[in-house]
Amino acid sequence: MARVQPRPVKGWTWVVWLVGLCALATAEVPQSCPQRQEIAPCTCQVKKNGLDILCEFTDQQHIDSAMTIFKGKPLVIFYLKLRHNKLPKLPGFMFFGMDIQHLTIHNSSLSVVDEASLSSIGKMLTQFDVSQNSLTQVPSPAFKNLHHLLILNMNHNKIGSIHGRAFQGLDTLEILTLYENKITSVDPEAFLGLEKKLKRLNLGGNLLTVVPQSSLGILDMLKKLEMQENKITEIKEGDFEGLSNLDSLGLAHNKLKSVPSRVFSHLTVLNSLELDGNHIDTIDKDAFAGLEENLQYLRLGDNNIHTIPTEALKRLHRLRHLELRANNISYIAEDAFAGFGDSITFLNLQKNEIRSLSGLIFENLNSLETLNLQNNKLSQVSEDVMEPILDTLRVVDLMDNPLMCACELQWYKNWLRNLKEKDDEMMQKKRTVCYMQQEHREFSLQNLPLDKMNCKVKSYENSAYSSAETQIAISKVALALCAFVLARNSHLNMF
């Protein structure tokens, strides 16, 4: 019997065969957890992107035993969370033979990270969290091979300074958080190597007394810089030079007393600036130079400001959110918002000393949606003052003011009724009251006793803008007129 020879595989047939063979070889291995008793006290769950492993309230020996079960197996560990353990040192090659993408070692007394502890997972690790431990310095040798790391969280440690080239090798890092350490100094070359990718840096909750400009200036890709809750006493022109792409700057809860001229002039694309919780009593008229075209959110609350800083704010053409709560503002000038108010949608003047509102102080705020005047000293709020903004307002907070019941508060009830037609639930829940002396009691502004005060009741229903029903009626009239004109033109065209 003749032996049948296999036909040679030629051309595209060979290619298809080879691709199929490769596909079989690289097919995803089904992910599965070991038996619970094998890795106890750790636990394992199968998630969409891989395994989720958790080890809590245990020690080095038990963690090592559990990790041995996973080593050398074709498993993707999406999350490995080691929390609330006794793990003072991360030894070398602890994770050798493991594919870990997100690693958390949280609140585990960690103070030493061996140079070789992370080297075997450098090609897979994208997020590393070592928050709430006892690290006194950045373990740079252990980080140098993490070439795919995107997020590094070192919050709540005991790091006192950041040495030169502390993050060398982390050339893909985008988010670095060092919140609430004990950092007093930052080497000029501390962030060398991060300038290509770093977008967010959190240095808040530390002991910095000045802005570390020489180290920050190279981070021209940085979008968000947080330095809140430090001891910074002064900022000056040039402190933020080099941060040309910064979108958000947090300087809240420092020791600042003034905002000098042109201090933010290099931050031409800045969108959000937080200066609340300082001791600011002086704002130079050119303090916000350079921020004209992009700044939309400005927080100046919890300071010692006595008047609306109109001159400084005038240049901010796109300002939408202005926070001035908890200052010492007692008076608002009639031109306080002239020149910049037409873009503001949110204005917070809560917890000030404002005793009266007069004239046309809100005339320029023709986009205002939220006005917070809670906890001031207001006894009256007249319709004349509020009239320019009633059409756009969705929230007005007058709670905790010593309001006296008066006929001129009629506007509130009408405004609230129209708002109800727009189904705005937030305002319906606020209970704003006034005090009626002759009755020795409080009344809700929604139920103002106009008859007891002998008020001339205004008929807001006759106003062209008073209710949805009026608008509907006007629309019907307009439609009828259109129909008449169309019919007339059609009739004339017949001839």
More confident residue, 393 or 485: 393
Q: What is the mean pLDDT of residues 177-199?
A: 97
> 438: pLDDT confidence band, cut at 50, 70 and 90?
confident
List, for residues 27-50, the tens digit of each pLDDT value.
455 789 999 999 999 999 999 999
In this predicted structure, the answer to whether residue 224 has a pLDDT above a threshold of 90 is yes
Q: Are 341 and 361 in contact (CB under 8 A)?
A: no
Four-residue CA torsion sign, 192, 195, 201, 204 = positive
- The pLDDT of residue 8 is 43
Query: What's the average model confidence in pLDDT over 431-445?
Result: 91
Q: Give the chain's radius of gyration (CA, Å).
A: 33
Portion of the chain with pLDDT greater than 90, in percent: 78
Collapsing DSSP to helix, strand or coil, 86 comes out as strand
**Residue range 72-83, pLDDT digits in tens:** 889 999 999 999
Phi, psi at residue 186, to the nearest 5°? -130, 120
Query: How confident is the model at residue 456, as a pLDDT?
Result: 87
Alpha-carbon distance 403 to 395, whole Å? 18
Query: What confidence tens digit (pLDDT) does each residue in 48-69 have?
Result: 999 999 999 999 999 999 999 9
pLDDT of residue 479: 53
Predicted pLDDT of residue 25: 37
Contact (CB, 8 A) for 366 and 388? yes
Query: In the predicted model, what is the mean pLDDT of residues 385-412?
Result: 95
Least confident of 258-262, 409-413, 416-420: 416-420
Residues in the chain: 495
Is pLDDT of 440 > 60?
Answer: yes
Given phi > 0 = left and psi -120 to 50 = alpha, else beta, which region is 437? Answer: alpha
Whether the per-residue pLDDT at 5 is higher than 80: the answer is no
Token reading at 396: 């007005």
User: Which amino acid is located at 374 in the chain?
Assistant: Q
pLDDT band for 483, please (50, 70, 90 cuts). Answer: low
Give the best-scoring range by mean pLDDT among 11-25, 196-210, 463-477.
196-210
pLDDT at 4: 43
329-338: b or e for each residue (b if 16 or more CB lie within 10 Å)?
Answer: bebbeebbbb
What is the b/e burial string over 382-412, where b = at least 16 CB atoms within 10 angstroms of the residue's CB? ebebbebbbeebeebbbeebebebbeebbbb
Residue-wise pLDDT tens digits, 145-172: 999 999 999 999 999 999 999 999 999 9
